[in-house]
Amino acid sequence: MDVFKQLRRRFNIAKQIDHRNLSRVTNTKLVLQELFNQPETSRADIARNLGLNKATVSSIYNDLDDQGFIEEVRVGHSTNNGGRRPKLVRLNRNYGFVASFNIGTNHLSSMFNFVTGELIRYNKEPIAKFDILSIMQMIKQELTQMQRANETMHGLLAIGFSIHGIVDNNQIIDSPFLQLQGIDLQQYFEHEFNVPVVLENEANLSATFEHDFYVNNRVKNLISISIHRGIGMGVIANGHLYRGYRGMAGEIGRALTTDGDNHRVKVESLCSEDVILQQVQKLVGKEKFEQQRLADLYQQNADVQVIFDRAARLLAEVTYNAEVCFGPQEIFFNAALLEAVPAFYANLKQELAALPSEAPIKMVYGSRLTSLYGCASLSIHHVLDMVGYHLKFKLPKEIQLSD
């Protein structure tokens, strides 16, 4: 045989092998997606939904079953033609778990979720000494304690961090209060626990939660506004998280406006949660007050109402500006302050209604959990190698949304 024909034949065989391997990988992800997204399914249902032949699905199914991804739910009913009753299955939540952490100004929040996204445990601990080494030690203790109590097949699969600040490629570019002292959180925890570690901006993760746990791909364009110490925004564009150059998209709290003296200032310096609380506390006295009292203060004290009303007007303006820039189908608000003072949210809605705003808005109750659930989703996508695939997560009972 001519040497060039031999080379061509070998090249064609290699191409066929690569094509088969690629098809196998793609089909495996599609089968895994079906297992994840269906409350229960069968081999026949998977083959029918994906348009694959039964032999291909059976081969992939057996591989996934051997790896521990499949849990049998029950035996289904046979068809009208009789035949074997199908096994109804779903993704095995006990395959393993992921851990997520939110480092706040005063507290460390931790969440552990099965690989299906279902909650195992949530914890919130005060940070006694706010330095990165002490916080890392708290995180290690949480992880070690969870590993000791683990009853899943593969234990800890990934670690995620919800960061108040700008994050790019798993690196913290800027944070208003977290000083890392040169420590690389991803590198450190990957070395300590030998699992993937992901970092993402807190508002981006809240947007991820609202997309993956609530709208479930029904809404492909949304913005999620988080009001805490600062004001951040997560953007879902065409079904995917939009981060912008170096992760800088969504920093609406840094947008400029003018204060009462006509000075240019950042929006969040006038209407963030911290600023509003400081203004109210200065007005009513230096003693600490519980946030539960805010709703009463709003109703009883006209000066407190002025503070909230001014903040509502500013937040409505910055929300409207974000709406006309990104064109979302829906807008979500994540803020404990809005939850604590329902009249504040009602006023914000009224201010938005006075503007030519078209996107419906929703309030998240249980917003302290949204970025952690979003972080769990991000970690699970990485663990399953399903980045870019839509996985349907069940909305947790601890979180509710309303107009």
Pick the residue with more confidence: 34 or 284? 34
Range of 11-25, 42-56, 147-161 with top mean pLDDT: 147-161
Question: Can you tell me whether residue 271 is helix, strand or coil?
Answer: helix
Whether 84 has a pLDDT exceeding 80, the answer reads no
Q: Has residue 13 got a pLDDT over 50?
A: no
Measured distance CA(181)–CA(110) in Å, rounded = 22
Burial class (CB in 10 A: 0-12, 13-18, 19+), 98: buried
With bands split at pLDDT 50, 70 and 90, how would you rate the model's confidence at 10? very low
The pLDDT > 90 percentage for the chain reads 73
Predicted confidence (pLDDT) per residue in 305-339, tens digit = 999 999 999 999 999 999 999 999 999 999 999 99
Question: Which stretches of 93-225 are DSSP H helices?
Answer: 132-149, 185-193, 202-209
Lowest mean pLDDT among 4-8, 369-373, 374-378: 4-8
Average pLDDT over residues 256-263: 87
Say what the pLDDT of residue 17 is: 46
Among 75-84, 221-230, 346-355, where is mean pLDDT lowest? 75-84
CA dihedral 308, 311, 313, 318 (to 10 degrees): -150
Q: What is the distance between the alpha carbons of residues 179 and 249, in angstroms, rounded to a whole number?
A: 22
User: Using CA atoms, how far apart are residues 362 and 369, in angstroms rounded to an integer?
Assistant: 16
The token duo for 263 is 């000075």
Residue type, 94: N
Give me the pLDDT at residue 19, please: 52
* pLDDT at residue 83, rounded to an integer: 62
The label of the residue with tokens 């539960």 reads 292
Rg over alpha carbons for the chain, rounded to the nearest Å, is 25
248 has pLDDT over 80: yes
| Exposure string for 161-187, b = 16+ CB within 10 A, e = fewer | bbbbbbbbebbbeebeebeeeeeebbe
- For the chain, what is the mean pLDDT? 90
pLDDT for 105: 85
pLDDT at 403: 86
What is the separation of C-alpha 296 from the centre of its chain, rounded to a whole number of angstroms?
33
Rounded Cα gap, residues 52 and 34, in angstroms: 12
Residue 164 above 60 pLDDT? yes
